[in-house]
């Protein structure tokens, strides 16, 4: 399923910023692909019940405006710290081990 970010770390996304993002989990291959708006990231993940963790992500290295580079760094950092997932009102929330939300997403095409 493909998702769109509404929050990366402490940054809330709206409008065009939100439309440029994507996050896709492939349970058949246990692979993840994501973008925060410029470069692409890809890696693997492990999921068991409500637990989830991501491998180190490979990333393209195109030059992007500084705000996008900061958002991508925040996304990479958040993915390293994600340990839990849950669906709340159709939104995917990826959280750290203490339950603090690091990433919030909604299913692409739903809003």
Q: Reduce the DSSP state of residue 15 to 3 states and report it.
A: helix
CA distances from 14 to 57, 61, 81 (A): 25, 24, 24
* Number of domains observed in the structure of the chain: 1
- Quick one: tokens of 12? 């809330």
End-to-end alpha carbon distance in the chain: 15
CATH number of the domain bearing residue 33: 2.40.128.270
Residue span of the structural domain in which 46 resides = 2-107
Rounded-to-10 torsion of CA 25, 27, 30, 32: -10
Average pLDDT for runs of 10 along the chain of length 111? 93 91 96 94 97 95 91 95 96 97 88 52
pLDDT attached to residue 57: 92
pLDDT attached to residue 103: 98
User: From the centroid of its chain, how far is CA 5?
Assistant: 7
């Amino acid at each position: 399923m493909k998702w769109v970010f509404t929050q990366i770390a402490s940054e809330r996304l709206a409008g065009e910023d939100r439309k440029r993002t994507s996050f896709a989990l492939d349970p058949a291959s246990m692979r993840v692909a994501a973008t925060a708006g410029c470069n692409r990231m890809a890696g693997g993940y492990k999921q068991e019940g409500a637990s989830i963790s991501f491998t180190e992500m490979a990333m393209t290295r195109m030059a992007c405006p500084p705000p996008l580079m900061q958002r991508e760094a925040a996304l990479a950092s958040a993915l390293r710290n994600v340990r839990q997932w849950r669906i709340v009102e159709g939104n995917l929330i990826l959280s750290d081990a203490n339950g603090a939300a690091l990433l919030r997403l909604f299913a692409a095409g739903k809003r």
